[in-house]
Amino acid sequence: MRILLTGGCGFIGSAVIRHLLRSTDHSVVDIDKMTYAASPDALEDAFASPRHTLVRADIADAAAMRAAFATHQPDAVMHLAAETHVDRSIDGPGPFIQTNVVGTYTLLEAAREYWAGLPAGRKERFRFHHVSTDEVFGALQPGDPPFTETTAYDPRSPYSAAKASSDHLVRAWHHTFGLPTMVSNTSNNYGPWQFPEKLIPLVTLNALEGRELPVYGDGSNMRDWIYVEDHAEALVRVLEHGAPGGTYCLSARQPRTNLQVVKAICACLDARLPDPAGPRERLIRFVTDRPGHDFRYEIDPSRSEAALGWKAANDFERGLARTVDWYLAHRSWWEGIRAARYAGQRLGQAAGGKKS
């Protein structure tokens, strides 16, 4: 297939492209606006491949999206482009509405127009896979069963509300117009190339540098974690084997409290690079919780595992060790980001942020 993939220079999108080029015969047209969190370096050897094309464009630009479909004639769409950081959505919701809602609508309309003009065989095989989050389901309390494909939506933040809106648009375009769409919802991602404002890289780098590790509330908020390369494999399985109109909940069954995650990172670093000043848990500081902080997210991926013949290969301990080792080996990448003016303004968020 020739896949039009949005957000390919982002954390999850770049992992999907690396997987596509290394493990399949598909080609990919990478549509990316190149915002602050985009990192072409994360594409690694993709630029040397004739099966990868990068197009700098905004998914909310209707003319650019129509041109992308007309020029590249894709067989499928993987839509990952989104504004994703909860704290940023609280500070300024506007870009989240523009990209996640308006951008998804614009992409859907360009895809529908293109799909309607395809010959019968290609039209039947065309797929539009929209990648979403578990945050659209709201918050779980202790004892509540995990989210599944039938959980009702209950978004709580500007970010999750914008993603929920985009999910509803994608499903509406399937049911109303027949566009063969699929939606996947996933838990928190972590792994190589994640932008340093997110929880695991932020804590890893702060702890490495001996900085304070601020944790929201008492650290009891719980998230379900999946290593990004496992998620990338699952997303491609959804595209290849998913049913139009279907929903796929993807996770690795690895729930942890935020405090457990922070302590695990400290222990991982202490084992590799002991700090003469003592164990890094001494750096943990509890801070005022953020507005509307959801207590718990957790996904039951049983239905998707059975439908896709997929299961995450990495548990949290293995994935975290691989992640910490990657950040230790790629100082030049993250040191440049933290040295920029952006670092002083935004890399002080407390632990408990979001995924992609």
The domain tally of the chain equals: 1
Confidence band of 294 (pLDDT split at 50, 70, 90): confident
Q: What angle do CA 70, 72, 76 make, to 5 degrees?
A: 100
Domain-embedded: residue 351 = no
Domain-embedded: residue 202 = no
**pLDDT score recorded for residue 63:** 98
Domain-embedded: residue 278 = no
> Is 114 an annotated catalytic residue?
no
Mean pLDDT of all residues belonging to the chain:
94
Flag the least confident range among 71-80, 190-199, 312-321. Answer: 190-199
**pLDDT score recorded for residue 352:** 56
Query: pLDDT by residue (tens digit) across 240-269?
Result: 999 999 999 999 999 999 999 999 999 999
Flag the least confident range among 97-111, 139-153, 333-347. Answer: 333-347
Find the catalytic residue in 135, 149, 224, 294: 135
Here the tokens at position 120 are 């019968």
Domain-embedded: residue 333 = no
Here the tokens at position 154 are 């209950």
**pLDDT score recorded for residue 86:** 82
Domain encompassing residue 50: 2-193+226-254+292-314
Domain-embedded: residue 48 = yes
Q: What's the gap between Cα 42 and its chain centre?
A: 14
Tell whether the model's pLDDT for residue 343 goes beyond 80: no
Confidence band of 346 (pLDDT split at 50, 70, 90): very low
**pLDDT score recorded for residue 347:** 45
**pLDDT score recorded for residue 222:** 96
**pLDDT score recorded for residue 87:** 79
pTM of the complete model: 0.94
Find the catalytic residue in 134, 233, 294, 298: 134
Annotate 187-215 with b (16+ C-beta within 10 A) or e (fewer): bbbbbbbbbbbbbbbbbbbbbbeeeebbb
Selection from 84, 67, 73 nearest residue 7 by Cα: 84
Find the catalytic residue in 105, 114, 159, 248: 159
Domain-embedded: residue 173 = yes
Domain-embedded: residue 355 = no
Tell whether the model's pLDDT for residue 356 goes beyond 70: no
- Residue 222 forms beta bridges with which residues? 257, 296
Annotate 231-250 with b (16+ C-beta within 10 A) or e (fewer): bbbbbbbbbeebeeebbbbb
Alpha-carbon distance 258 to 239, whole Å? 32
Tell whether the model's pLDDT for residue 183 goes beyond 90: yes
> Is 159 an annotated catalytic residue?
yes
The predicted model gives 310-316 an average pLDDT of: 98
> Is 134 an annotated catalytic residue?
yes
Domain-embedded: residue 263 = no
Tell me, what CATH number does 131's domain have?
3.40.50.720
